[in-house]
Structure 1
């Protein structure tokens, strides 16, 4: 079976910002022990059945564009941070990208043409900057399911331009059905698996909750002879953080740092020592480290929270 590289991918999902970045933004990435950063330019859809992806325009934040992505990569490279380029789509009002579905063949063709333009823009950037990994899409299950031939052809086309490693970020309940893992280098999973129904899950609770999922994840790795990469992973600092870890709703107002820390530690203990597991990218890391996270923030970021030290201890030891 194909083994993951011996050096784990200890990554952060580096959020695109309005402005350029510099040392004060990249030093905290080094301090947490990361050796990789995911750079995430964005394209935008008006709604779930609209075929035109708007991307790389002067109406976007700097970090969401090709030139911004290049500047971020160059600054992170100065700190010897490796790169995954991970272009993503935002559907207006935050609709789930997995539900993107066209209503007729003409619109499917238009979406395919638009997506190709979007992803090839960033395949070129990945090649230009010698990014180690390119993620060809994030949580696009209906699009993948409806148009598998397109995706196989797209991967072939990407490989004519980009010579690094390829993955796709499948949602946690999608990856078992993704049809093209054999054409990629990593099985990419956004790892928001439910692992505990407890208000403050313990490490042991979460480790027990991982067992059934882990068996399936490993079986997919064995089926395709590819290592698994958690293209996103992480937990909010809220009560019941392990119950539905994908929920980002602002209506959740509790604060619970112990649950976040315990769930994160359990994930590390379950996966980081497996030779079929390549590593992952914590969701999510903001550039202005001194202004984010902290003891009143219940969102995903680990910054300036107890879980940051959990991450640091694992990243600096692996």
Structure 2
């Protein structure tokens, strides 16, 4: 681990993404987060777009409590009481498809979905503003929507700015962050940083550093064009073999993969070694962190660093 002192850096976002609980918290989830060394909490209230429907439903009685407005408010209160800053990160869960593939073939269907998404995001903006949430993420990996309907996004950003006074970002997928046309309207370039690095069973530190090198150049070039800091709105690795390449595919066969905490620790450590020296990099949010009492399927292989080797690595970086 690089021990160089970067004390001249501006505020660094050392965040975790909290998984929303199905019921009210059994105890304060922010205590463990703060003790680990994190200073930011990402709160993720999902909205749902059912298959072949042009709607978004959210804040519904059938949703998990932590994704509802009362759950959001309580989570933010816990975070602020613990001295944590908050990013509210509403995002779409699309049934049977990736959210980036949401696409409609009629103007009427697009208008219906956009009206529903606007209602969803503006209600979250009102909630964020009323709670003095420090950052709002206006969308996550909505690749096709941004590409096909830029006018909608331009208008939505303007409407959000009229409501919400904090900082804005958008969480672009690793393969489309350069194509998002509104970085100049954001406070941060947001990237979900699941870049394919190596398909080796357990890549070495040298292999990972070499894989990051061309990616860093592309991200830095975007920073230079926009003069905006870069934030990893999501980053993380499974604690398994083959965890540094196409992790969304590995999730489908996660139970077949051998547990490998060392691979997870190394991948996180290398990410920080590569990016922490870059003054334009503002840190990010580890995916993901479970609240007390949450029953986690495949926790030994999951992205979470809790009670694994990688928690100590992340804590060291977060406490620099």
TM exceeding 0.5:
yes
**Which runs of 5 or more structure 2 residues have no equivalent in the other structure?**
1-7
Provide the residue aligned with 2:89 in structure 1: 86
- 1:66 to 2:69 alignment: yes
Supply the distance in 2 between the matched residues of 1:314 and 1:292 (Cα, whole angstroms).
Answer: 25
- The C-alpha deviation readout for 1:133-192, integer Å capped at 9, x for no partner, is 100000000011110011011000000000000000000001010111111110000000
CA contact (8 A) 1:289 1:303 kept: no
Give the SS at the match of 1:196. Answer: coil
Supply the distance in 1 between the matched residues of 2:91 and 2:230 (Cα, whole angstroms).
Answer: 20
**Which runs of 5 or more structure 1 residues have no equivalent in the other structure?**
none
Provide the residue aligned with 1:103 in structure 2: 105
Give the SS at the match of 2:133. Answer: coil
Of residues 296, 307, 310, the one that matches 1:307 is 310
Question: Scaled by the length of structure 2, what TM-score is found?
Answer: 0.93
Provide the residue aligned with 1:247 in structure 2: 249
- 1:281 to 2:289 alignment: no
| Structure 1 runs, 4 residues or longer, greater than 4 Å off | 289-294
CA contact (8 A) 2:90 2:138 kept: yes
Supply the distance in 2 between the matched residues of 1:153 and 1:306 (Cα, whole angstroms).
Answer: 45
Of residues 11, 23, 29, the one that matches 1:7 is 11
CA contact (8 A) 2:44 2:91 kept: yes
Supply the distance in 2 between the matched residues of 1:176 and 1:290 (Cα, whole angstroms).
Answer: 36
- The C-alpha deviation readout for 1:118-137, integer Å capped at 9, x for no partner, is 00010011101111110000
- 1:167 to 2:169 alignment: yes
- CA RMSD in angstroms comes to 1.7
Query: Aligned-pair distance for 1:225?
Result: 1.1
Provide the residue aligned with 1:263 in structure 2: 267
Question: Scaled by the length of structure 1, what TM-score is found?
Answer: 0.94
CA contact (8 A) 2:169 2:186 kept: yes
- The C-alpha deviation readout for 1:191-215, integer Å capped at 9, x for no partner, is 0001122211222221111001111
Query: Aligned-pair distance for 1:265?
Result: 0.4
CA contact (8 A) 2:243 2:250 kept: no
Provide the residue aligned with 2:34 in structure 1: 30
